[in-house]
């Protein structure tokens, strides 16, 4: 072990275990507890000739490229690994309802699109069983199953452009069959708490004497993207250790977070702060929804203040723009929201709800659409035009010291100051009152932990 660096007892335990033993080690690393630093130290301390560092998120892997520069560790997203070994003959493209040539309803096309994507990111090795089980209660079970199989076969045979997730499943099956072997001295999977099931299987199938999974169960917040928690799935086959000392949050903020999370999430929750918290001069306005981002953007623009966004305005404004277009009888340009035109036709055919917005709130059970409608109602009440806000947002000069982002996008980042938005507070209150389904309840509480733990020195408007 290096004599130049002092490790905490928790860090030393992880390093000593990896030096002395082979096998899988999972590290439950709390927010800002140095997992990135320690992954680099582990690589430097071990006699390695080869290794793979990967993650679901491309941005995390790009950070890894800098971190592991000069080491034998290759940093690749799981998608990039799949592309290398599968070697598709056609250009990668998304699979949309336009790719389905059969004359079936948009709803049925949506079901085909969804089942293909969920199969590709699952741990299943048999599409026939998967599709049959998925369409078990569908009136046209065999037809829908055969249709799904047809499009997977087309991608496999090279007569249709494959999707990136098709490549993941292809690599998975090739490794199961033994036609592809990935062999290295160490395999590292970062953010193992939020990963596709197929990526987790690929990680398990990599032949490496030492494997390291990094993340934290209490930061698993992407279940809505069909991601799984590797800590739960690999629990029985791994040695699990913890990092609980944060080098980001002040002692006061960490104590407030620990007390609250012990009360509402996990009685054994442990999180300790530092007397030298992050003080980088940066501020985050942290929301739960894109609608709240748009609302804050409008407020900043009205006050002639700038901001930085972590995603493109087109993505952030997508839902409210789509709802507004559909309310005018126009087809949204975003394929994801094309169904709103059909919903608009349903609205015109009924006489119960007087406005399209009220119809959406009552008849369409979709949180994103609900948030978009309520945002549009608020903007309208204040005589604010959404298209004007969108145009100004695209043209605004960024302020790198003031970021507006959802908790999902800001995960992994750190700021001197974090301001919690009202929409996140309101949802957290509902969760604490036990008014959400269990899975949603846990996710929201984890989101709150992630949001608050972005803060180094100042945490404002937080229910802690």
Query: pLDDT (tens digit, 9 = 90+) per residue, 112-145?
Result: 999 999 999 999 999 999 999 999 999 999 999 9
Of 119-123, 189-193, 410-414, the least confident: 410-414
Could you tell me if 204 and 304 lie in one domain? no
Report the distance separating Cα 76 and Cα 73, nearest Å: 10
Beta-strand pair 195-196/227-228: antiparallel
For 396, what's the count of Cα atoms within 13 Å in the CB-facing half-sphere?
A: 26
Report the distance separating Cα 11 and Cα 99, nearest Å: 51
Q: How confident is the model at residue 52 (pLDDT cuts 50, 70, 90)?
A: very high
Could you tell me if 42 and 151 lie in one domain? no
Give Cβ neighbours of residue 271 (< 8 Å, ≥ 6 apart).
30, 31, 244, 246, 249, 254, 257, 258, 261, 453
pLDDT computed for residue 1 by the predictor: 43
Could you tell me if 301 and 368 lie in one domain? yes
Residue 2 has pLDDT above 60, yes or no: no
Q: Which residue has the higher pLDDT, 6 or 308?
A: 308
- 2 falls within a domain: no
pLDDT in tens, 366-382: 889 999 999 999 999 99
- 448 falls within a domain: no
Contact (CB, 8 A) for 399 and 305: yes
Residue 106 has pLDDT above 80, yes or no: no
Residue 447 has pLDDT above 60, yes or no: yes
- 323 falls within a domain: yes
Q: Which two tokens stand for residue 15?
A: 């390093």
Report the distance separating Cα 189 and Cα 58, nearest Å: 13
Report the distance separating Cα 447 and Cα 425, nearest Å: 11
How many domains is the chain built from?
3
Report the 10 Å Cβ neighbour count for 272: 15
Could you tell me if 66 and 194 lie in one domain? yes
Could you tell me if 297 and 379 lie in one domain? yes
- The CATH number for 66's domain is 3.40.50.300
Could you tell me if 308 and 396 lie in one domain? yes
Decide: residue 258, CB within 10 A, 0-12 exposed, 13-18 middle, 19+ buried. Answer: buried
- 278 falls within a domain: no
Could you tell me if 107 and 45 lie in one domain? no
- 230: domain range? 21-75+183-241
Last residue of a domain, one of 413, 433, 451: 413
Which pTM was predicted? 0.86
Q: Mean pLDDT score of the chain, rounded to an integer? A: 94
pLDDT computed for residue 141 by the predictor: 96
Could you tell me if 214 and 336 lie in one domain? no
Q: What percent of the chain has pLDDT over 70?
A: 99
pLDDT computed for residue 351 by the predictor: 82
- 348 falls within a domain: yes
Of 73-82, 92-101, 164-173, 254-263, the least confident: 92-101
- 169 falls within a domain: no
Could you tell me if 408 and 328 lie in one domain? yes
pLDDT computed for residue 6 by the predictor: 82
Last residue of a domain, one of 368, 394, 413: 413
Residue 280 has pLDDT above 60, yes or no: yes
Contact (CB, 8 A) for 252 and 281: no
- 260 falls within a domain: no
Question: DSSP per residue over 135-164, as a string?
Answer: TTT-TTHHHHHHHHHHHHHHHHHTSSPPPH
* 182-202: average pLDDT: 96
Q: How confident is the model at residue 4 (pLDDT cuts 50, 70, 90)?
A: low
Could you tell me if 224 and 310 lie in one domain? no
Q: Helices (DSSP H) in 78-183: which residue ranges?
A: 78-86, 106-120, 127-134, 141-157, 164-177
Could you tell me if 195 and 61 lie in one domain? yes
- 450 falls within a domain: no
Could you tell me if 287 and 409 lie in one domain? yes
Of 151-155, 156-160, 411-415, the least confident: 411-415
pLDDT in tens, 85-98: 999 999 999 998 88
Residue 343 has pLDDT above 50, yes or no: yes
Task: Spell 147-160 as b/e; 16+ CB within 10 A means b.
Answer: bbbebbeebeeeeb
Q: What percent of the chain has pLDDT over 90?
A: 85
């Amino acid at each position: 072990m290096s004599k130049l660096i002092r490790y905490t007892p928790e860090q030393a335990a992880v390093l000593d275990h990896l030096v002395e033993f082979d096998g899988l080690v999972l590290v439950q690393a709390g927010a800002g507890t140095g997992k990135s630093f320690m992954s680099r130290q582990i690589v430097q301390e071990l006699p390695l000739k080869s290794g793979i560092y990967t993650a679901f998120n491309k941005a995390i892997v790009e950070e890894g490229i800098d971190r592991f520069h000069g080491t034998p560790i290759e940093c690749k997203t799981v998608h990039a690994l799949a592309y290398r070994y599968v070697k598709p003959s056609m250009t990668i493209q998304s699979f949309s309802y336009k790719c389905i040539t059969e004359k079936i309803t948009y709803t049925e096309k949506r079901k085909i699109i969804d089942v293909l994507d969920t199969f590709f990111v699952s741990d299943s090795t048999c599409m026939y069983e998967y599709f049959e089980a998925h369409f078990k209660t569908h009136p046209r079970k065999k037809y829908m199953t055969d249709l799904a199989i047809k499009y997977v076969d087309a991608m496999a045979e090279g007569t249709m452009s494959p999707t990136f997730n098709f490549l993941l499943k292809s690599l998975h099956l090739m490794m199961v069959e033994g036609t592809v072997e990935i062999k290295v001295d160490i395999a590292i999977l970062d953010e193992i708490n939020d990963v596709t099931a197929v990526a987790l299987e690929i990680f398990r199938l990599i032949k490496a004497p030492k494997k390291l999974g990094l993340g934290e169960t209490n930061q698993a917040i992407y279940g809505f993207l069909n991601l799984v928690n590797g800590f739960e799935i690999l629990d029985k086959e791994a040695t699990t250790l913890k990092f609980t000392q944060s080098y980001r949050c002040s002692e006061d903020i960490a104590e407030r977070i620990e007390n609250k999370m012990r009360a509402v999430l996990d009685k054994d929750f442990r999180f300790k702060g530092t007397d030298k918290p992050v003080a980088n001069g940066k501020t985050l306005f942290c929301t739960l929804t894109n609608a709240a981002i748009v609302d804050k953007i409008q407020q900043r623009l009205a006050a002639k203040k700038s901001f930085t966004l972590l995603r493109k305005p087109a993505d952030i404004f997508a839902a409210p723009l789509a709802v507004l277009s559909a309310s005018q009888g126009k087809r949204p340009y975003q394929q994801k929201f094309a169904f709103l035109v059909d919903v608009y036709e349903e609205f015109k055919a009924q006489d119960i709800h007087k406005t399209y917005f009220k119809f959406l709130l009552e008849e369409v059970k979709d949180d994103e659409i609900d948030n978009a409608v309520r945002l549009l109602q608020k903007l309208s009440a204040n005589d604010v035009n959404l298209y004007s806000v969108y145009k100004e947002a695209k043209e605004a000069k960024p302020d790198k010291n003031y970021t507006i982002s959802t908790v999902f996008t800001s995960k992994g980042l750190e700021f001197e100051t974090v301001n919690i938005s009202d929409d996140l507070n309101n949802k957290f209150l509902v969760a604490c009152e036990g008014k959400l389904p269990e899975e949603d309840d846990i996710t929201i509480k984890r989101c709150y932990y992630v949001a608050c733990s972005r803060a180094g020195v100042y945490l404002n408007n937080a229910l802690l």
